[in-house]
Amino acid sequence: MNPAVGYAGLIGVFVVTAAIGFYGLRISRTTEDFYVASRTVRPWWNASAIGGEYLSAASFLGVAGLILISGADALWFPIGYTAGYLMLLLFVAAPLRRSGAYTVPDFTEGRLESVAARRVTSLLVVLVGWFYIVPQLQGAALTIRIATGLPSWVGSVAVAVVVCVTVLMGGMRAITFVQAFQFWLKLTAIAVPIVFVLIVMANNGLAIPAVAEPFASNPVGSPPSGTYRNISLVIALLFGTLGLPHVLVRFYTNPDGTSARRTTLIVLALLSVFYIFPTLYGVVGRAFAPDLAAAGTADALVLLLPGRLIPGLAGDMLTALVIAGAFAAFLSTTSGLVVSVAGVISQDVLGGRVRGFRIAAVFSSIAPLGVALMTDSMQLAGSVGLVFAFTASTLCPLLLLGIWWRGLTDAGAIAGMLAGGALCGGSIVLGRVLGSGTGLLGELLAQPAAWTVPTAFAVMIGVSLATKSRRPGGITKIMTRLHTPERRSAAATR
Amino acid sequence: MSPDATPGPNPPRRVRVTAPRSQARRASPGYPVAREIAEESEVGQVFVRSLIRSQLRLAVVVAVGFLLILLAFPLLLAWVPGMDRATFLGVPFGWLLLGVGVYPLIGLSAWLYVRTASRNEARYLDLVEDE
């Protein structure tokens, strides 16, 4: 690929992001603006911002790459990523907004009236955040290598540094604008090139039936993933989404519970539209770029496909656009995660000053960078899937039982989170150590959510029942606050 | 930070943000005291519990319905003879169902849920604000 094209895409996305951040910074001046971009952020803006933060390297590059490798089985990934928001809407969105909690640890402390439970939750949020940042940085490494020919580590370091600087400069204020913009950038960057590709294919007489054979083809002879794996994956994605720290923070910027629901509804629509396109890349890629799967760079499919099928300047411009979109994905997801992780660290460890937040932000960018540089990248969608499994086994039971069951106690919550975290984390590590084993044990370790999530729930419920005396005293008031709507006049004047 | 909040002739002065917000705002502004008292009464708690129950039932019904239909998709492909080879405009049916067909289903479930949940809340407000 022509490096100039890569640089053009990169510089474009950095400049535009900085410009919008600066514009947003200028029009938001008060403390109110800083914390509660809330009361004036309309559902459409907020939904775009959530989409911008959520669509990560795994969605932008990983899904198409996985479809290229494993075909129809990979379609469960985008389904899970989207349906996770349905679960979030059904069980979490409005009550979490009404709880008034800004982060998951805040929610835990408010609901369970326990500092110990808060500490455990904070630890898990930090772990989840860091392990979610790692694949973003690995995606950046891959993109830099392919787009500019520079060594891989440059990409990881560049994203970590840019995010760190943005967060340090106090970019929180502008973040809703930036994230919302980046959603639409990502959608444009992934949609426009594939539409051109399809038009070119149609002009060359490659009608749809002519490419029907890629649906059945199997470029690397990967075996079908089996029923257990698919079910376990869907469980991880469905229940993992509702514990993701950077997603939950965004719900606080809704004015009330009702608009939290409306926002989620719009997010679902935006994601549904978005995921059509990675699927198209995957399908066209199976026909025209099967060699990428064999070469082990399937995740680069989205970056390389437009240039392969459209020659000349047009192809170069489309490639620059996809590269810009990919970097928007790394930057927005990483900065959302760094901000939420740094917020938790600074509150719980560093005493909550702005200085503490800055130290925590640097630390939160560097720690995952170290991990990203030391480990080989797996397939992006796959490694993000494991983070979802971990969240589903720890934070998801806490939120679901905390919101809907009066009987949850702090002891139960801690025991359940530790059990789920140890089992899920342990089997992910063990699965990596043992390699991709076959047989029942290999399957159970490779995709653990199907058994770790129910176990975490069972432990949480069991221990809570055994420690009934520890139920918080103010539970009636808490449950009332979580579930009753804001008063009507407030809703009417919105 | 609304898009139309352009700085007027006297824009609010810029302030330094200092304290973190560990204790988040507990109540929405103007959460009426009268209502809070009403909700803590015995009758009020009956209303609250019944609201929570109906919201949970609604969420579970929608979730289970959605998951059953989702589960039916692969079963349909596996069990209906010829289904795995059927195509529409050259695209196999399985790809269409999973790649496109699931999304309207998700949207429909979400929309139905939001409509009914809002209705439950409106009914609750009618009860409580009449107290």
Asked if residue A462 has pLDDT above 90, the reply is: yes
- Place A361 in a pLDDT band, splitting at 50, 70 and 90: confident
Asked if residue A219 has pLDDT above 70, the reply is: no
The separation between CA A483 and the C-alpha centre of its own chain, rounded to angstroms, equals 27
A281 lies within 8 A of chain B by CB: no
More confident of the two residues A344 and B117: B117
In-domain check, residue A454: no
Q: Tally the domains of chain B.
A: 1
Q: Taking residues A403-432, what's their average pLDDT? A: 89
> Cβ contact (<8 Å) for A268 and B27?
no
Residue-range definition of the domain harbouring residue B48: 33-130
Q: How many CB atoms lie within 10 A of CB A307?
A: 20
Range with top average pLDDT, A113-127, A253-267, A317-331, A370-384: A113-127
Q: Tally the domains of chain A.
A: 1
Q: Which residues of B touch A230 (CB under 8 A)?
A: 74
Asked if residue B48 has pLDDT above 60, the reply is: yes
Asked if residue B50 has pLDDT above 60, the reply is: yes
In-domain check, residue B4: no
Q: Taking residues A27-46, what's their average pLDDT? A: 58
Task: Tell me what pLDDT residue A398 has.
Answer: 93
> Cβ contact (<8 Å) for A72 and B39?
no
In-domain check, residue A410: no
Tell me which of A29-38, A65-74, A303-312, A456-465 is least confident.
Answer: A29-38
> Cβ contact (<8 Å) for B28 and A256?
yes
Q: The tokens of B85 are what?
A: 């080879």
Task: Tell me what pLDDT residue A225 has.
Answer: 62
Q: Taking residues A199-207, what's their average pLDDT? A: 71
Asked if residue B4 has pLDDT above 50, the reply is: no
Cα–Cα distance between B103 and A133 in angstroms, integer?
27
Measured between CB atoms, which of B21, B95, B106 is closest to A83? Answer: B106
Q: Which residue has the tokens 């840019």?
A: A162
Q: Which of A268, A481, A484, A487 to mutate to test the interface with B (most CBs of B within 10 A)?
A: A484
More confident of the two residues B22 and A215: A215
Cα–Cα distance between A349 and A341 in angstroms, integer?
12
| CA separation, residue A388 to residues A69, A227, A377, A384, A392 (Å) | 21, 19, 17, 6, 6
Measured between CB atoms, which of A40, A110, A476 is closest to B2? Answer: A40
Asked if residue B31 has pLDDT above 70, the reply is: no
Cα–Cα distance between A173 and A30 in angstroms, integer?
10
Task: Tell me what pLDDT residue A268 has.
Answer: 92
Report the percentage of chain B scoring pLDDT > 90. Answer: 24
- Place B58 in a pLDDT band, splitting at 50, 70 and 90: very high
Q: How many CB atoms lie within 10 A of CB A366?
A: 12
- Place B14 in a pLDDT band, splitting at 50, 70 and 90: low
Q: Which residues of A touch B1 (CB under 8 A)?
A: 24, 27-28, 33, 37, 40-41, 173-174, 176-177
Q: Taking residues B13-22, what's their average pLDDT? A: 55
| CA separation, residue A62 to residues A86, A240, A245 (Å) | 22, 18, 21
Average pLDDT, chain A: 81
> Cβ contact (<8 Å) for A483 and B52?
yes
* Closest Cα in chain B, distance from residue A75 (Å): 6
The enclosing domain of A83 has a CATH number of 1.20.1730.10
> Cβ contact (<8 Å) for A31 and B17?
yes
Q: Which residues of B touch A353 (CB under 8 A)?
A: 20
> Cβ contact (<8 Å) for A265 and B13?
no
Measured between CB atoms, which of B21, B74, B114 is closest to A35? Answer: B21
Task: Tell me what pLDDT residue A223 has.
Answer: 59
Q: Which of A480, A482, A489, A493 to mutate to test the interface with B (most CBs of B within 10 A)?
A: A480
Q: What is the dihedral of CA A381, A281, A247, A45, to 10 degrees?
A: 170
Task: Tell me what pLDDT residue B1 has.
Answer: 40
Report the percentage of chain A scoring pLDDT > 90. Answer: 17
* Closest Cα in chain B, distance from residue A428 (Å): 26
In-domain check, residue B8: no
Task: Tell me what pLDDT residue B6 has.
Answer: 46
More confident of the two residues A239 and A447: A239
Q: Which residues of A touch B26 (CB under 8 A)?
A: 100, 481
> Cβ contact (<8 Å) for A488 and B125?
yes
In-domain check, residue A487: no
More confident of the two residues A129 and A29: A129
Task: Tell me what pLDDT residue A460 has.
Answer: 93
Which residue of chain B is at minimal alpha-carbon distance from A352? B20
* Closest Cα in chain B, distance from residue A432 (Å): 29
Asked if residue A378 has pLDDT above 80, the reply is: no
Residue-range definition of the domain harbouring residue A71: 3-376
> Do A338 and A365 meet the contact criterion of CB atoms below 8 Å apart?
yes
> Cβ contact (<8 Å) for A41 and B92?
no
In-domain check, residue B47: yes
Asked if residue A365 has pLDDT above 50, the reply is: yes
Which residue of chain B is at minimal alpha-carbon distance from A401? B56
Give residue-wise pLDDT tens across range A228-256: 878 888 899 999 988 888 888 777 777 77
Asked if residue A33 has pLDDT above 60, the reply is: no
Asked if residue B111 has pLDDT above 90, the reply is: yes
More confident of the two residues A81 and A211: A81
> Cβ contact (<8 Å) for A476 and B106?
no
Q: Under the phi-then-psi rule, with left for phi > 0, alpha for psi from -120 to 50, and beta for the rest, what region is A230?
A: alpha
In-domain check, residue A179: yes
In-domain check, residue A14: yes
Task: Tell me what pLDDT residue A253 has.
Answer: 73
Task: Tell me what pLDDT residue B105 has.
Answer: 92
Q: Which residues of B touch A218 (CB under 8 A)?
A: none
Q: Taking residues A392-412, what's their average pLDDT? A: 92
The size of the A-B interface in CB pairs under 8 A is 173
Q: Nearest 5°: phi and psi at B91? A: -100, 130
A492 lies within 8 A of chain B by CB: no
A92 lies within 8 A of chain B by CB: no
Give residue-wise pLDDT tens across range A261-318: 888 899 999 999 999 999 888 888 887 777 777 777 778 888 888 888 887 888 888 8
- Place B63 in a pLDDT band, splitting at 50, 70 and 90: very high
Q: Taking residues B102-110, what's their average pLDDT? A: 92
> Cβ contact (<8 Å) for A211 and B90?
yes
> Cβ contact (<8 Å) for A261 and B14?
no
A407 lies within 8 A of chain B by CB: no
> Cβ contact (<8 Å) for A26 and B7?
yes
Q: Which among A4, A382, A11, A60 is positioned nearest to A194, based on CA atoms?
A: A60
Task: Tell me what pLDDT residue B17 has.
Answer: 56
> Cβ contact (<8 Å) for B129 and A357?
no
Q: Can you list the pairs that A295-300 forms with residues at least 24 positions away whose Cβ atoms lie under 8 Å?
A: A297/A142, A297/A146, A298/A65, A298/A66, A298/A68, A298/A69, A298/A379, A299/A61, A299/A62, A299/A65, A299/A139, A299/A142, A299/A377, A299/A379, A299/A380, A300/A61, A300/A65, A300/A142, A300/A143, A300/A146
Task: Tell me what pLDDT residue A46 has.
Answer: 83
Q: The tokens of A483 are what?
A: 């579930």
Q: Nearest 5°: phi and psi at B88? A: -130, 115
Instruction: Name the strand (E) or helix (H) holding B92.
Output: strand B91-92
In-domain check, residue A451: no
* Closest Cα in chain A, distance from residue B93 (Å): 10
Q: Which among A360, A331, A339 is positioned nearest to A170, based on CA atoms?
A: A339
Tell me which of A56-70, A205-219, A262-276 is least confident.
Answer: A205-219
Asked if residue A419 has pLDDT above 90, the reply is: yes
> Cβ contact (<8 Å) for A479 and B52?
yes
